[in-house]
Structure 1
């Protein structure tokens, strides 16, 4: 948090210094151009922006304008984000319906807000988690890596044993070493084969599915949880967009064959909903980092309420219909998250 404050302070100081060195000029001062045609596409200008490509009619060539563009790009200072976030938090249905109906100039698009939320979530996660690099490095060597290493060592020892026998030398020491390593290898192979059973070995078979790649990923997750968690974080960040196409069909099931609502409506709904959930996780992580764990516990009740309000506002539902569909949506959301998790696990090679 201190680093963020320092960065903001440095940006502010830079902007102030730029204004002091080269103050912003009025429309008739230096640095303000007076074009009659667009500098980008050459179209004759009518108004403050080019009607062909959308570029601003006049270009400010000042250092102060440069820092203004920087702040604008980083913080979206034109106000869209400050109009979008309150609606996303309290009136998500209205925000969804406004965007679907075409009233978009005042709001941040759902996909832009989603990508920003994902980036922010993982940035906060890495900033607030406790790092143990030595412990992580010690766990990088997984179960299968140890098995492969022992297999190579045993093969080398057998080669040396064959050479010793060919030359008439004693190979008893090599034989004992091979037996010792073979016992260790057999133990590791048994552990790899039985991952998924209970600690007492009495639980029914290991976890299996119809997808061998998923089975392999689950076994390796159990064998090396630290490395698996690290890989999951990396792949979840890369494939976070996949939550949208995974979730949309489930939302369609709430309004099957509807002529009023289409896949586009559902996609906007899902994306804005994921934006809220992502930002809620950011708040929870920050709250946990500052010691507000008790307050963070109450945040678990917000997603169902948010889904209910968004369904009512976006689709114009009555209370009973919205409650029924909200219950189904919670179930569908859990299923979508499970599918996303399995997809990530299947894609991950430990």
Structure 2
């Protein structure tokens, strides 16, 4: 046997990763391919798209069920047909990242905290003070009575929070909006993601007696919220002149969840509607309260 043939035989019969004996295209011990080469730029790009953006055949299969067959993707996963679809967590994370990126870069106004009052004159400073103290005294003195009361109430809870609220209120309106937006985009995605277990818990409570495990409710939560992020992303990306298409997205977003709930959990239309209303009230209240709390901590602490 020649040297080149021997090297090829050793390359094909031993795994370079774990040195296990192999007889096929993949190592039976660790799963690594036995025939390796330095990947081309095209192969690098394909690997990135396939593993991180999930642009592959099973993405389109997953999207078809997610968009047009409410709840069927969840049922497929529960019944064991999984390898043909994108993993639920990857699907949720992909669409949530796209949604928040669109909000951030599309110019959609999340909150506007501009000054609505007429400019107030600064009171004269009679007592000598350092430059920093004088500046704080002037800006603090410009606060309205209601704002001073808010600062005092926050200070009673925690002196540090009180200082943070005062510092925020003395900012110009534009800087307030910018600070609030920075805090929103920095922490809101994490807050909403952490509410997925709570969403699943609401489902668990609403469907007591269904004998479904918590993991099944969590799976449904990932799929239904992935759909919501996708619809909202399409709504934002659609030009404002296409009002009819935007209306279609909103209508489908409204009726999608109860349809999916009935397909996955069963039950009458009336009972499903009541559960859907309760679920929306609980979940939206949790989202608003959590986002406000997280953004508030980021701004004031």
Same fold (TM over 0.5): yes
Residues 136-190 of structure 1: CA distance to partner in whole angstroms, max 9, x if unpaired?
Answer: 9xx8xxxxxxx9xx99x9522799xxxxxxxxxxxxxxxxxx8x99676433263
Picking from 190, 211, 234, the partner of 2:145 is: 190
Residues 118-142 of structure 1: CA distance to partner in whole angstroms, max 9, x if unpaired?
Answer: 22112222331179xxxx9xx8xxx
Distance, in Å, in 2 between the alignment partners of 1:55 and 1:154 is 75
Picking from 96, 99, 105, the partner of 1:127 is: 105
Q: Is the 8 A contact 1:218 1:345 kept in 2?
A: no
Q: Is 1:156 the counterpart of 2:130 in the alignment?
A: yes
Count, aligned residues: 271
Q: Is 1:246 the counterpart of 2:228 in the alignment?
A: no
SS of structure 2 residue aligned to 1:111: helix
Task: Work out which of the two has the higher radius of gyration on C-alpha atoms and give 1 or 2.
Answer: 1
Q: Is the 8 A contact 2:179 2:299 kept in 1?
A: no
Q: Output aligned runs, 1:89-168, within 5 Å.
A: 89-129=67-107, 155-156=129-130
Picking from 256, 264, 279, the partner of 1:314 is: 264
In structure 2, what is the equivalent of residue 79 of structure 1?
57
Q: Is the 8 A contact 1:94 1:310 kept in 2?
A: yes
In structure 2, what is the equivalent of residue 337 of structure 1?
287
Q: Is the 8 A contact 2:192 2:291 kept in 1?
A: no
Structure 2: which 5+ residue stretches go unaligned? Answer: 1-7, 115-121
Measure how far apart 1:311 and its partner are.
Answer: 0.8
Structure 1 pair 70/239, CA: closer, same or farther in 2 (3 Å)?
Answer: same
CA RMSD of superposed structures (Å):
4.1
Stretch moving more, 116-125 or 34-43: 34-43
Q: Output aligned runs, 1:237-316, within 5 Å.
A: 237-256=189-208, 258=209, 260-288=211-239, 291-316=241-266
Structure 1 pair 348/184, CA: closer, same or farther in 2 (3 Å)?
Answer: closer
Structure 1 pair 184/110, CA: closer, same or farther in 2 (3 Å)?
Answer: closer
Measure how far apart 1:286 and its partner are.
Answer: 0.4
SS of structure 2 residue aligned to 1:348: helix
Distance, in Å, in 2 between the alignment partners of 1:332 and 1:88 is 23
TM-score relative to the length of structure 1: 0.63
Distance, in Å, in 2 between the alignment partners of 1:108 and 1:275 is 12
Q: Is the 8 A contact 1:110 1:271 kept in 2?
A: yes
Structure 1 pair 294/342, CA: closer, same or farther in 2 (3 Å)?
Answer: same
Distance, in Å, in 1 between the alignment partners of 2:251 and 2:100 is 22
Q: Is the 8 A contact 2:192 2:287 kept in 1?
A: no
Distance, in Å, in 2 between the alignment partners of 1:307 and 1:275 is 11
SS of structure 2 residue aligned to 1:155: coil
Runs of 4 or more consecutive aligned structure 1 residues displaced over 6 Å after TM superposition: 210-213, 215-219
